[in-house]
Amino acid sequence: MLQKELSEIFLQYARKLKGVIITVSNVRISPDLSIARSHLSIFPSDKAQQIIKNIEENTGPIRYELGRKVRHQLRIVPELYFHLDDSLDYIEHIDTLLKSDPPGPETEEIEN
């Protein structure tokens, strides 16, 4: 539920930025429901650090908006922490490495 609601909040936020896609890839919540750690995937990745910093600076208003949306489902609104999910960049890097020619010495044919 938190992932869905945060996704809707970031959809509105990304519309203001134009050309940026923010995806909530994972939300982990503590057992006592007091802390929620959200992993965000941001495209294009060259703007990711700047956007995540801006999101961290605006955690209060984001938490307030989340509280308005889930006030009837949750007793307390958890504290929000945001982390950059760079798994897509890592997968792309691995894919690029696999498609490239392997580095190393040329193999020589052995004459019989």
Question: pLDDT tens digit string along 64-101?
Answer: 999 999 988 888 899 999 999 877 777 777 888 888 86
**Domain 2-91 class?**
alpha beta
C-alpha distance from residue 36 to each of 26, 57, 72, 105 (Å): 10, 16, 18, 50
Q: State the alpha helices, DSSP H only, in the chain.
A: 2-17, 48-57, 59-70, 87-99
> What are the boundaries of each domain within the chain?
2-91
Rounded to whole angstroms, how far apart are CA atoms 28 and 21?
21
Cα angle for residues 86, 19, 4 (degrees, 5° grid) = 60
pLDDT at 24: 92
pLDDT single digits (tens) 36-63: 999 998 888 888 899 999 999 999 999 9
